[in-house]
Structure 1
Amino acid sequence: MNSVPSSAGLSAVRCTDETPIYRANRSCRVTSNSTNNYQHYSHIPSTLENTHLSQKQYSYTVNQRRGHANNPRQHINVETTSRLYGKSFSTAYYDRVRAQVYLNTPMHSQLKSAFLPPKPSTPQETPPKTSSDNEDPPLDYPNYTIDSLIQRLVPTDTYKPKVTFINPMLMCSRLHIRPSILLNKLACLSINSLRESTHDQGVRIMTNFLEILSHWTETFPYDFRNDEMISQLEELLRKLNSYEPSFRSITKRIDKQLRSELSKLDDYEDYIRQLNKMSSKSLNQMTLNTNIIDQCSTPILFAEQVTHIELSRLKAIGAEEILQYFITKSANEDARAETKEIKASGQLKSSQVAHDIKLTFNFETYIQWFNRLTFFVATEIVKHTQRRLRIQLITYFIDAAYHCLLLNNFNSMFAILGGLNMQPVKRLTRTWAKVSLEKFTQLEQFKNVSKNFTYYRTQLKRAMENARTRQWQVDRIVIPFTSLVSQDVYFIKTRSKNYTTEGGINLQKYYSISKCVLEEFIQCQQSNCSFQRNDQIINFIITSPTFSEDALMLASFECEPATTAYEMKTLAELQSKNQ
Structure 2
Amino acid sequence: MSSSNGGISSAATNGRSGSTGSANISLNIKVPAAGGAAAASTSATSTSITHKTLPDLKTQRSNSVCHSQETYSGNRRVAPTEKPPEKQLSYGPAQSRATAKEPKEAHLVYCEGKLHSGPLKSLITHMVPTHEYYPDESFVFAFLLSARLFVRPHELLAQISTTWEQQQGPGGGCDVVDDAGQVLYLSINSASPLTQRKGAAASAAAAAAAAASSTELDPKPQQRTSTQRSAQHCIRLLSEWIEIFPYDFRDERLMQQVRILARKCVYIDNSLGKQVSRILQLLVSRLTALEQYEEFLLTLTTDGSEREAGAGAVSAGQSQQHHNHNHHHHHHLHNPFQTFLGSSHSHANGLGGGGSTSGTSNSSSSGNTSSSTSNSNSTTPQPDEVFGIMDMCPSCAHLAHQLTAIELERLSHIGPEEFVQAFAKDYPQQQAKDGAGGGGKAGGSLNDMKKTRNLESYVQWFNRLSYLTASEIVKYPKKKQRVRIIEYWIETARECFNIGNFNSLMAIIAGLNLAPIGRLKKTWSKVQSAKFSVLEHQMDPTSNFNSYRSTLKAAMWRSEGATEERERIIIPFFSLFVKDLYFLNEGCSNRLPNNHINFEKCSQLAKQVTEFNEWKKVSCPFEKLPNVIAYLQHSAVLNENTLSMASFECEPPENTEEKDRYKTVKAETKQQLLQQLQEQQQQHQHHQSQ
Match of 1:539 among 604, 620, 630: 630
Match of 1:263 among 266, 283, 288: 288
Describe how 1:102-501 pairs up with structure 2 within 5 A.
Answer: 124-128=105-109, 137-139=114-116, 141=117, 144-196=118-170, 198-279=223-304, 280=306, 282=310, 283-285=340-342, 286=365, 289-328=386-425, 330=427, 359-470=451-562, 473-501=565-593
User: Contact 1:296–1:302 (CA<8 Å) still a contact in 2?
Assistant: yes
> How big is the shift at 1:486?
0.7
Structure 1 counterpart of 2:115, which letter?
P
Structure 2 counterpart of 1:437, which letter?
S
2:408 & 2:151 partners in 1: Cα distance?
A: 32
1:199 partner SS:
helix
Structure 1 counterpart of 2:226, which letter?
Q
Change over 3 Å in CA distance of 1:173–1:262 after alignment to 2: same
2:341 & 2:111 partners in 1: Cα distance?
A: 68
1:427 & 1:332 partners in 2: Cα distance?
A: 46
User: Contact 2:23–2:507 (CA<8 Å) still a contact in 1?
Assistant: no
Describe how 1:30-69 pairs up with structure 2 within 5 A.
Answer: 40=23, 42=25, 47=30
TM-score, normalised with respect to structure 1? 0.72
> How big is the shift at 1:561?
1.6
- Which residue does 1:530 correspond to in 2? 621
1:503 & 1:333 partners in 2: Cα distance?
A: 13
TM-score, normalised with respect to structure 2? 0.61
User: Contact 2:247–2:415 (CA<8 Å) still a contact in 1?
Assistant: yes
Q: What do residues 157-211 of structure 1 show as CA deviations (whole Å, max 9, x unaligned)?
A: 1111111111100001111111111111111111211124722111111211211
> How big is the shift at 1:558?
0.9
Q: What do residues 306-365 of structure 1 show as CA deviations (whole Å, max 9, x unaligned)?
A: 111111111111111121122235459999xxxxxxxxxxxxxxxx99956962321112
Change over 3 Å in CA distance of 1:357–1:446 after alignment to 2: farther
User: Contact 1:476–1:529 (CA<8 Å) still a contact in 2?
Assistant: no
> How big is the shift at 1:273?
1.8
2:110 & 2:624 partners in 1: Cα distance?
A: 54
User: Contact 1:371–1:415 (CA<8 Å) still a contact in 2?
Assistant: yes
1:460 & 1:161 partners in 2: Cα distance?
A: 32
Change over 3 Å in CA distance of 1:237–1:222 after alignment to 2: same
1:497 & 1:454 partners in 2: Cα distance?
A: 27
1:560 & 1:334 partners in 2: Cα distance?
A: 55
Aligned length in residues: 444
1:359 partner SS:
coil
Q: What do residues 79-137 of structure 1 show as CA deviations (whole Å, max 9, x unaligned)?
A: xxxxxxxxxxxxxxxxxxxxxxxxxxxxxxxxxxxxxxxxxxxx825225799xxxx75
Structure 2 counterpart of 1:127, which letter?
L
User: Contact 2:150–2:431 (CA<8 Å) still a contact in 1?
Assistant: no
User: Contact 2:413–2:454 (CA<8 Å) still a contact in 1?
Assistant: yes
Q: What do residues 228-274 of structure 1 show as CA deviations (whole Å, max 9, x unaligned)?
A: 11121122212322232121111111111111111111112112223
Change over 3 Å in CA distance of 1:317–1:421 after alignment to 2: same
Q: What do residues 17-73 of structure 1 show as CA deviations (whole Å, max 9, x unaligned)?
A: xxxxxxxxxxxxxxxxxxxxx96464967649xxxxxxxxxxxxxxxxxxxxxxxxx
- Superposition CA RMSD, Å: 2.7
Structure 2 counterpart of 1:292, which letter?
I
User: Contact 2:108–2:123 (CA<8 Å) still a contact in 1?
Assistant: no
Structure 1 counterpart of 2:254, which letter?
M
1:212 & 1:186 partners in 2: Cα distance?
A: 10
Please say which structure displays the higher CA radius of gyration. Answer: 2
1:205 & 1:130 partners in 2: Cα distance?
A: 29
- Does residue 574 (structure 1) correspond to residue 599 (structure 2)? The answer is no
User: Contact 1:241–1:247 (CA<8 Å) still a contact in 2?
Assistant: yes
Change over 3 Å in CA distance of 1:563–1:329 after alignment to 2: farther
Using the TM superposition, name which of 227-236 and 479-488 deviates more: 227-236
User: Contact 1:155–1:208 (CA<8 Å) still a contact in 2?
Assistant: yes
Describe how 1:62-81 pairs up with structure 2 within 5 A.
Answer: none
1:430 & 1:153 partners in 2: Cα distance?
A: 65
Structure 2 counterpart of 1:241, which letter?
V
1:138 partner SS:
strand
Gaps of 5+ in 2: 1-20, 32-103, 174-222, 311-339, 343-364, 370-385, 433-443, 671-690
Structure 2 counterpart of 1:173, which letter?
A
Change over 3 Å in CA distance of 1:396–1:329 after alignment to 2: farther
Change over 3 Å in CA distance of 1:470–1:353 after alignment to 2: closer
Change over 3 Å in CA distance of 1:297–1:128 after alignment to 2: closer
Describe how 1:551-566 pairs up with structure 2 within 5 A.
Answer: 551-566=642-657
Determine what percentage of the aligned residue pairs are the same residue. 32
2:451 partner SS:
helix
Change over 3 Å in CA distance of 1:246–1:460 after alignment to 2: same
2:289 & 2:29 partners in 1: Cα distance?
A: 34
2:585 partner SS:
helix
User: Contact 2:500–2:570 (CA<8 Å) still a contact in 1?
Assistant: yes
2:592 & 2:295 partners in 1: Cα distance?
A: 44
Larger helix proportion, structure 1 or 2?
2
